[in-house]
Amino acid sequence: MASIMLACKRGASRTMWLEHTTPRVIAWCRRIAVALAFAWALLIPTSVLADELDGPLDVLSAYVIVDNGVYKLVARAAYPLNEDIRAALKDGVSLQFDFQTVVLRQRRFWTDATVVDLNVHRDLSWHMVSERFVVRDAEHSEVGSYTTIDQALQAIGSIDNWPVMVESQLESAATYQIKVRASVRRGNLPDALRSVIWWSDGWHRNSAWYAWQLPR
């Protein structure tokens, strides 16, 4: 009986110690976490915290032409350009560009049906030996090389006579909307930079949709 009472007293004492100690430990841990987060923020370069893809990203114009029953897209897009982008390319980072085209069959009492969802994919990188900006397509075939990044971005943002659908995909009584948007994101990253910016959300942007009624 005495041993049971002694065990109860010890248990009660331990419970009281935990009740008084646990809040102090939690508060202490919180202070350490805040201090570490603040110290880490001070160590991160300002360029990493900023939006690396800052600048204009817009579809400037877009329309389709019908050629022997084939709908072909002609469009122009503007992509961002700043010192962070120039420096990243020179450091070996590649950029990926997508131009997305969606055709929707409009429905009155239900959500629109997707008829077409296509992408033009292009990569931009800096070739150190030739000192030129190289543009490649989705199959990694070289599309062109340019002496300036402005010329490369202009080529990337030019869509000429791209077949997106054929007339047989359209229903005669239906109406259709076509919309396009441009996007850019970080591609391949050198090993030396992976530990610095692999987690950054600033390397992916989409433009607003550019939409119009598909001509019939």
User: Rounded to whole angstroms, how far apart are CA atoms 48 and 95?
Assistant: 16
User: Alpha helices of the chain — where are they, by DSSP H?
Assistant: 2-43, 46-49, 83-90, 149-156, 191-197
pLDDT at 84: 86
Nearest in space to 62 (alpha carbons), one of 115, 103, 111, 122: 103
Q: pLDDT digits over 198-208, tens only?
A: 445 557 899 99
pLDDT at 209: 97
pLDDT at 189: 60
- Flag whether pLDDT at 10 surpasses 60: no
Q: Could you report how far apart the first and last alpha carbons of the chain are, in Å?
A: 96
- Flag whether pLDDT at 50 surpasses 90: no
Q: pLDDT digits over 12-24, tens only?
A: 454 454 455 555 5
User: Rounded to whole angstroms, how far apart are CA atoms 85 and 216?
Assistant: 41
Q: pLDDT digits over 172-198, tens only?
A: 889 999 999 999 998 766 555 544 554
Show the tokens assigned to 112: 């629109």
Q: pLDDT digits over 107-164, tens only?
A: 988 899 999 999 999 999 999 999 999 999 877 787 899 999 999 999 999 999 999 9
User: How many residues belong to the chain?
Assistant: 216
Is the pTM higher than 0.75? The answer reads no
Of the CA atoms within 13 Å of residue 79, those in its CB half-sphere come to 28
pLDDT at 154: 95
pLDDT at 22: 56
Instruction: Output phi, psi for 185, to 5 deg.
Output: -155, 165
Nearest in space to 84 (alpha carbons), one of 135, 49, 42, 58: 49
- Flag whether pLDDT at 94 surpasses 70: yes
| Residues in CB range of 13: below 8 A, 6 or more apart | none
> Please, what sign has the CA dihedral across residues 198, 200, 203, 204?
positive
User: Rounded to whole angstroms, how far apart are CA atoms 213 and 99?
Assistant: 19
Average pLDDT, the chain: 79
- Flag whether pLDDT at 45 surpasses 50: no
Select, from the ranges 21-30, 35-44, 55-64, the one with the highest average predicted confidence (pLDDT). 55-64
